[in-house]
Structure 1
Amino acid sequence: MFRKVNGINVISLLLGLFPAFHLPTMQLMLVIVLIGLVASFRRLDYSAFSELLIWRNLCFAQFYLIFFINSCAYPVWDSPRMNYRAADLESWSLGFLCLIVLGLWLNEQSPKLVKCALILGLPIGLIVSFSVASFIYFSSMQGSRIQIFTPNPLGPPMWFLVLTMTSFVWFFEMSRWHKLLRILLFFMAGMMVVYASARLVSAAWIICSLALLIWMYLNTVAEYRSRFLWAVGFIVAIFASSIWLSGALAQSELVSRILNSVQFEWTYENFRGQFIRLKIWSGAWSIIVDHPIFGVGKANEHIALNQAIGWERWYKAHQTYLSYLIAGGVFTLLSGLIMQSSVLAFIGLKNRAVFFPAFLGLGVVITLNTFTDSIFQMGSNVQFFMVATLIFLRTTEDL
């Protein structure tokens, strides 16, 4: 029992550390899960593997298999980066193996213990991530737009917001201090947006705050709803003004990027010049039109975009669904949509009252960001999305 609680507690803590430390946290999770499986090896039999054949696991399994086949089937075009195929094959095969290992390990965990671990451990990890990000930002170690220890500055604020939203699950069962901590985490998520100058994530933060408030209002006892609205209005006003003011005082790049977005002549050419993604999307769409059914292979996305746009920059399509279509046409697009559909379980009739915040984080925030970035072209993002989704879905079995 002690070993199980310890393992899931550490996993919950590492979930919160992912926005700052990225891949090392995933590697530590895998080590902990493998240790737990070795400890319970004698209990593993045919039935343990047959229990893995459920919809949420199959959603991820088919994605890994489709993209593994894609990496095998498409020859890599002439490029100085011929190692892309080998990297993709390693990523998708390792992801599939991690899915099996995680599924076996989660089936050994009590949903109640997983729930307790997430309530306690996840916020601690998020606070550590925010503290590290704050130190790096205010010390100007990485300039005005930080990426902490991750490969992309847009990753930390997005994943921090995703996990912050999921931390509101079981909100009405929590003590007053735990509720206050979740509210502070939401403020931290807004600050993380400022640190990375992430315009789209700031829009997701606003949308999710409104959806979360509506959910809270509907689940509040009727006689306290007016008091709730006053309190929320006051808190939101303070948080929003504090986040904006801190960004302005620190000369945040986010403030200048937002101002530049609205203070220019709104002609088509200026619009394309201001929002460089429009030119990338235009080039991506031309590739899709030329290869609508089977695409050109995931490993060739950057090369094809270079040829279509005429740039020497190493770009992805900056839109997940365009990247799917470039990689393998309608087949990889359908595979990606099936994978993301796993989060719909959070809003099933039995779960929606409690798990709606998890749907906001793992469903809405992720989907909003897929429209402006090729999130799931990185194997580490797919793996973390899988881990977070499956861990929270495990707790739904306690209802």
Structure 2
Amino acid sequence: MYNIYGFGRRIASFRKLAGLTQEELAERLNITAQAVSKWENEICFPEITMLPRLAQELNTTIEKLFGGGIDPTKAEASAIPKQKGRLKLIHTYQGLLCYSDKEVAVTNEDTVVFKDGSSADLRRQEIINKGSGEICFDFADEYDENDQGQTELSEVFSGIASLRLEISNATFQVLRSPDTYTRLKAVGSAPFIGGLQVSQSGSLLAAVQKQQNYHRGERNRIEIMIGQDSGSDLELRIGGSGSGEVQVPFKNGLVQIGGSGDVILTDFDVLKCRISGSGDLKADKIGEAELAISGAGNVELNEVTIRFEAHVSGAGDISVSGGNIDEFKAEISGAGDIKAQGLTARTADITCHGASDVVLGRVIEGSKEKHSQHSSIKILQRG
């Protein structure tokens, strides 16, 4: 009996084995890349008349696309991961894999029963989960020995205005697409690609790394080409040694750096940045900047045009090359410095503790200043 569940994932797996991108497969089938993306995400399915051509282009059979004709022994012989994060491989049945962190009570041919009353029916692909812990399914055909692990991911989306990236131990780039489609391409090791989850929710495209049990390499890269001149919202959560650049302007940005990676940005109307590691951030033109450094990270801003606020509790430094703003606010309780000789503010509110120094180019109306014995505040021009 053919199995519709996992049909999209099998299309994606066979497409990658055939060395095709979504766009290349779409061109061969005379359809849009968006249609292929919808198949692989199981939003919709191809017409039955297209199945023979689809199977031919993917060098497989219709039976295998529907999960049939899979040798159950192949699952044991192939390079199937025995563990996915904290979940262990519990059971296999006709090419379907069951992972869980629960304690097993009984296992038969196609079913696993856990001690807390949970169960996994691999024949029906049905999970009943009771209590804490996780149970999930995966497909053995995605770990074919000839593939030696998936090392590339390529997707095409439409209607994308916002991005959310959670990356560690990899590099990334956000560029302008040559057309209105947004393209994501990731290359790297099999654990890197296997731990990358890509999804679209409305106008938001999310790329999240779920696995981090591998070393960073130059092969681990993510490239996103967004299909418009400027974006709406960008959320970056960078851990480990993850680093990269964003060459497209956004209205709102939220950047969190928790490791040693570096991030380079262009223009943002509003930018909120939190650094708790030793990573650095550079940006071009920012309207409103709100910065918080609790580690040794540094921030360099080329220009700020509306408002600047910074809280430094570590040894991180901030520099602002220029700009005219309404309000300058800074609070430092560590050894960090702020150098903003080229910045002009209508008002300023500055507090320094520890061994910190703040230099501000000009204050037009007035300032409120407070500093300790070993810190200093210097305003180069007033009025």
Under TM normalisation by the shorter chain, which class is it? under 0.3
Larger RCO (CA under 8 A, 6+ residues apart): 1
Give 1 or 2: higher helix fraction: 1
Give 1 or 2: higher strand fraction: 2
Q: TM-score, normalised by structure 1?
A: 0.27
Q: TM-score, normalised by structure 2?
A: 0.28
Larger Rg: 2
